[in-house]
Amino acid sequence: MINFIIRGFGRYAPEKVLTNTDLEKIVDTSDEWITTRTGIKERHVVADDQAASDMAFESAKMALADAGMDASELTHIVCGTFTPDSMIPSCACIVQEKLGISGQACVDVQAACSGFLYALQTARGYLMLEPDAKILVVTSEVISRRVNWEDRTTCVLFGDASGAVILTSGTEEESPRVLDSMLAADGKLGNLLTVHGGGSAYTYKLGEPVGEEFFVQMAGRDVFKHAVRSMSSICNDLLERNGLTTTDVDVLLPHQANYRIIDAVGRKLEIPEEKVFCNIHKYGNTSAASVPLALSEAVESGFIKDGDLVLLTTFGGGFTWGATLVQF
Ligand code: UT7
């Protein structure tokens, strides 16, 4: 029986901040609409010379420092992203190079906004096979380069950021300990949230401009309904599998896509608002980065305390969703 211990947390958001008022100058929107419909007040956007690996490098360094580990001790890098620097090499390989190390197994995991829980589960799989592994699980998203800045229904929602944890095995007395995780997907609903561009089903010719399919396209209302339903039901399933109920949960930390979704999931699970972590007002939806970014802030601010049972949940394109229990 392996105990999965989180040794360190890291996060990074680029310096440049784009407020709702800034967006009013770009598309036909208002601070009032964005705030009341989503809870978002501002988001961070990368500098021209930054890519996903640059942010991942920063959050990886923070997680390694928090764990008191040197990069050379790592055995694996698992990177969750749908906005890697390039198709090849993978973001994980580029992060490895930036950390100045080599030899580790490196892989990208693509599960859209559920990327962190999928990457964490992948890392747990490696640890089952190699209990001495020391794994960097890092997520990073540059969504600002994958939204159509003329489409007000999507561009106001997203932001750029990265988050990371270091996962190793340990003893039952150590914490934070990943207790259990459930993942799910339904490809039949894939067309409700897409970024087709760059994929092999789409033909690109040298010199031709990209079309709308290059960017995030979303049937917002449908995604909203599925997000609430899927996250709340997988949380209940995971708790039940562990002989727990929502009253045992000290902190619910959901994917930060829309404050109304976070609120609806909390209500469905009957977890009081004061136990639900939310930082969407500062970052918008940062896809795979949202949960580890929020985790790092929640730990640092003391929102999550020693002894807390923390329930993480995500939902994203694919559709993909998941829930994970962490005992602090
Ligand atoms: O990360 C996982 C995936 N993402 C999500 O989970 C997001 C899920 N969806 C949502 O969060 C919400 O559906 C949105 C925030 C995307 C949209 O909120 P909504 O309350 O579902 O609005 P709506 O799409 O029903 O649009 C309502 C109105 C429309 O106008 P009409 O047709 O009623 O005249 C839109 O054109 O709001 C209009 N609208 C805007 N108005 C001002 C849409 N975007 C904007 C905007 N500013 N940025």
193 CA from centroid of ligand 1 (Å): 13
Helix (H) or strand (E) run with residue 37 in it: helix 31-38
Classify 248 in phi/psi space as left (phi over 0), alpha (psi -120 to 50) or beta. alpha
Q: Which CATH architecture has domain 3-173?
A: 3-Layer(aba) Sandwich (3.40)
Assess whether the region 3-173 and the region 178-327 belong to the same CATH fold. yes
Give the pocket of ligand 1 (CB within 6 Å): 29, 33-34, 37-38, 113, 152-153, 156, 193, 220-221, 223-224, 227, 257-258, 261, 285, 315-316
Q: What's 285's DSSP letter? A: B
- Residue 323 reports pLDDT greater than 90: yes
Q: How is the chain split into domains, by residue range?
A: 3-173, 178-327
- For the stretch 198-228, pLDDT in tens is 889 988 888 988 889 999 999 999 999 999 9
Q: Which residues touch 94 (CB under 8 Å, ≥6 apart)?
A: 53, 85, 86
Task: Encode pLDDT of 110-165 as tens digits.
Answer: 999 999 999 999 999 999 999 999 999 999 999 999 999 999 999 999 999 999 99
Return the residue whose CA atom lies nearest to atom 41 of ligand 1. Answer: 29
Q: How far is the CA of 220 from the centre of ligand 1 (A)?
A: 6
**Cα dist from 101 to 72, 74, 94, 202, whole Å:** 6, 9, 10, 35
How close is the Cα of 45 to the center of ligand 1, in Å?
21
- 27-52 pLDDT, tens digit per residue, is 999 999 999 999 999 999 999 999 99
Architecture of domain 178-327: 3-Layer(aba) Sandwich (3.40)
SS3 letters across 240-284: HHCCCCHHHCCEEEECCCCHHHHHHHHHHCCCCHHHECCCHHHHC
* pTM (two decimals): 0.97
Average pLDDT of span 54-65: 98
